[in-house]
């Protein structure tokens, strides 16, 4: 069976995932376009890695960049942030996009060795992360989380995000995850020089007069250009690969 399972409901992002798999940029596997609410534990049997809300595969890419082997078990999932984001409707737990219960049910029944996740870092999301914390600890997992901005890893913007980990090996975490379990802020990469992955970004003067950065080759939108709109939406929903890599590395150093 394929090494990795990718669950992604957006057709454009799912096609992007398949292209990345074919090109060898992320762990080999299969893409399931059903809602996570329709996925059962039986569907996941035999997979070494499972990536939910997979987007364009950045968690898999970041795991590789951090030195996490494709054949080492892991689950990841960045639940939709819109219910708890300033850019969303602010409906919170009443929002139909609040899909943590479905993700948690799969964790509860399958008991993966380790789970990585990410969520928007905002006061509106505090209750969400408290729920995740309580849920995974009820299963015996050790839990750690820490918020930090993308600027902390060299990005030219803040984009505060909260990264979390749930580890089934609770005993080793009591001593190893001191920083994460305490909830203290970290200065990512402050102990050594770090390359700046965004140094080659193009600077574009937009109609509102503001200067924004874009990846070379990424086309700006024009009226009726739905393909590029889908591309920008998929990229905009993706996590920061460098930030995820730094977080994964910190966990790997502990275990």
Domains in the chain: ranges and CATH: 4-195+237-254 (3.40.50.150)
Q: Tell me the average pLDDT of the chain.
A: 79
Mind listing the pLDDT tens digit for each residue in 78-96? 987 666 666 556 666 666 7
Residue 131: pLDDT band (50, 70, 90) is very high
Residue 206: pLDDT band (50, 70, 90) is low
State whether the Cα torsion 122-159-173-112 is positive or negative.
positive
Mind listing the pLDDT tens digit for each residue in 132-188? 999 999 999 999 988 876 555 555 555 578 899 999 987 766 554 544 544 444 443
Give yes or no for residue 111 having a pLDDT over 70: yes
Give yes or no for residue 21 having a pLDDT over 60: yes
196 versus 36: the higher-pLDDT residue is 36
What is the reported pLDDT for 182? 42
């Amino acid at each position: 069976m394929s090494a990795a399972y990718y669950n992604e409901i957006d057709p454009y992002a799912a096609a992007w995932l398949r292209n990345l798999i074919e090109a060898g940029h992320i762990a080999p596997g299969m893409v399931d376009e059903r809602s996570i609410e329709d996925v059962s534990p039986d569907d996941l049997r035999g997979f070494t890695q499972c990536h939910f809300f997979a987007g364009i595969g950045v968690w898999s890419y970041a795991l590789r960049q951090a030195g996490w082997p494709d054949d080492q078990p892991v689950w990841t999932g960045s639940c939709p942030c819109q219910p708890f984001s300033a850019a969303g409707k602010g409906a919170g737990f009443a929002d139909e996009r609040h899909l943590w219960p479905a993700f948690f049910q799969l964790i509860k029944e399958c008991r993966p060795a380790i789970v990585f996740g990410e969520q928007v870092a905002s006061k509106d999301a505090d209750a969400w992360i408290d729920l995740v914390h309580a849920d995974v600890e009820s299963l015996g997992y050790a839990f750690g989380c820490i918020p930090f901005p993308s600027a902390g890893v060299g990005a030219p913007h803040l984009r505060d995000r909260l990264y979390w980990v749930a580890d089934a090996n609770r005993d080793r975490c009591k001593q190893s995850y001191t920083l994460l379990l305490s909830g203290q802020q970290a200065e990512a990469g402050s102990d050594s020089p770090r390359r700046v992955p965004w140094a080659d970004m193009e600077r574009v003067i937009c109609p509102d007069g503001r200067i924004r950065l874009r990846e070379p080759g990424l086309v700006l939108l024009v009226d009726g250009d739905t393909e590029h709109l889908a591309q920008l939406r998929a990229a905009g929903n993706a996590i920061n690969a460098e930030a995820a890599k730094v977080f994964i590395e910190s966990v790997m150093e502990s275990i």
